[in-house]
Amino acid sequence: MSFVITTPLYYVNDKPHLGSVYTTIICDAIARYKRLLGRHVIFITGVDEHGLKIQRTANEKGIEPKTHCDEISEIFNINWKKWDISFDKFIRTSSKNHELIVNEFYERVKASDDIYMGVQKGWYCVGCEEFKDNPENSSTYKCPIHQKNLEWKNEENLFFRLSKYQEQIEKLIHEPTFIEPIERRNEIIKFVSRGLKDFSISRTNVSWGIGVPGYDNHTFYVWFDALLGYVSAISSNTLEHSLEKSINEGWPVDIHLIGKDILRFHAVYWPAMLISAGMSAPKKVLGHGFLTREGQKMGKSLGNVLDPDLLLSKYGNDPVRWYLIKDISLGNDGDFQDKRFVDIINNDLANTIGNLLNRASSMSRKWFDNKVPNNEKISSENKLENFAKITIENYIHNFDIYKLDLAANEVLNLAINTNLYLNDNQPWLLIKENDNLPLVEEIIYNVLESTRIIGLLLLPLLPKLSSKINEQLGSIYRSEIPWEHQLKWGLLTTNSSLPKPSPIINKLEYE
């Protein structure tokens, strides 16, 4: 069975920002981890191209929406390749195939008697592409996310009978694994308990969208169309493109990883739409927090937006990944601080993990002729082996419950403890006595072996750094052997040659 994971489909009103990079990196780490466990993974990302927001952005630039979307979609696609994101599907909601899926899906929902014509009146945030629940002083109220005034709308729209699914949605959202973390689940439970209202799924004032069959002047509401992008993605790039094909090839999604602002769409509207169409709801919706910069919301007006392109070219992929994965607990808000970033990278990656590799390989090269030493059992208890085994168990447990920060900390802790083991045993003193040679061999073997395991555990988190570590130990990850088997203690071959070492990470300077 496939494991399907998705990022949100990003609006193409602008190029990727750090928030989109964050979500995509987390998804990438999870996708890589599941592949290591032998799962067939379908990792979906893509862009959400329709709607009023995009139509206006293109108008402001004086170009056709399609031209604008082509340009920004390409930037997203190239960007994810630059970040070494291992996505399997990149879906564009302006594609012809997607339109076919939307139409097919709409027919199913209509056949369930869940569509009717009504009048939609209310205050709308174009940034969110969402009606807001009767805010007080609506004409002066600004959307807290976009800091823009709401717009009054009053038009005939097609509606989806969301209210009909009250009971089913209540049951679903109470399942403890459906919405995580718990704070997010509670928000949604509260929202649903107030009673679900039908919502409009078409627009008469937006031409940049998919036309509703049978209604000349209506296009589908951008969210109705966009959520279906996940379904289209599964059968995209295959010869037959249909709803049935997507259902057979992987539906439902295992995890939608999204920001907390778009939880209602994914955890309430979307499952109801799917049930109406006779399809299964996603298995899990994981809502992450928001990133701020030096404690402040990032925004163009504040002039504090962090350009991910600059970050990537200045520091490289692994440092940014490490900071975002290890320093932010998934679900909580996170803050990007320049000084903290430099300190964490220098402490964790350069001084702890990099230095460990450097120490271990230079001692082996000096004392054992550039080779992995013998591994004869001298000590009665191998503390490092025991520590590594516990680390692996905890790491897997934490990854399985998507606590990636804790998984990363487990690896770091193993590196810290391996350095301590070296310090405590002081092989540089022991080596002075000839009789101690077997003991020194054992110590250095243990340190090298522990470093090999650190390298393997870093594979989904920091793919590049991980390969560099294992290359320098002459023991690379082999995809034909299950990853978990390769984590077994003692697999580093004694007497094998150690390649010439080179620094795996450069220390960063704080400017």
Give me the residues that bind ligand MSP (CB under 6 A), please: 8-11, 19-20, 22-23, 48, 226-227, 229, 258-259, 261-262, 290-291, 298
Q: Which CB sits closer to ligand MSP, 100 or 491?
A: 100
Q: Which CB sits closer to ligand MSP, 219 or 346?
A: 219
Shortest Å distance, C-beta 115 to ligand MSP = 20
Q: Which CB sits closer to ligand MSP, 106 or 395?
A: 106
Q: Which residue's Cβ lies closest to ligand MSP?
A: 259
Sheet of strand 89-92, all strands in order from the earlier edge strand to the far edge: 89-92, 40-48, 2-11, 255-259, 285-288, 179-180
Shortest Å distance, C-beta 483 to ligand MSP = 30
Phi-psi label, residue 3: left if phi above 0, alpha if psi -120 to 50, beta otherwise:
beta
What type of residue sits at position 177?
T
Q: Which CB sits closer to ligand MSP, 20 or 364?
A: 20
Q: Which CB sits closer to ligand MSP, 330 or 440?
A: 330
Contacts of 10 (CB under 8 A, 6+ apart): 16, 20, 45, 46, 47, 48, 76
Shortest Å distance, C-beta 111 to ligand MSP = 23
Q: Which CB sits closer to ligand MSP, 3 or 11?
A: 11
Shortest Å distance, C-beta 402 to ligand MSP = 16
Shortest Å distance, C-beta 273 to ligand MSP = 12
Q: Beta-carbon neighbour count of residue 76 at 10 Å?
A: 21
Find out whether 220 and 106 touch, Cβ atoms under 8 Å. Answer: yes
For residue 222, the surrounding DSSP H or E stretch is helix 222-227
Shortest Å distance, C-beta 325 to ligand MSP = 14
Shortest Å distance, C-beta 52 to ligand MSP = 12
Q: Which CB sits closer to ligand MSP, 135 or 259?
A: 259
Beta bridge partners of 257: 286
Structure tokens that stand for 125 in this block: 């945030």
Q: Beta-carbon neighbour count of residue 496 at 10 Å?
A: 11
The DSSP secondary structure of 48-101, one letter per residue, reads E--SHHHHHHHHHHTS-HHHHHHHHHHHHHHHHHHTT---SEEEETTSHHHHHH
Find out whether 486 and 456 touch, Cβ atoms under 8 Å. Answer: yes
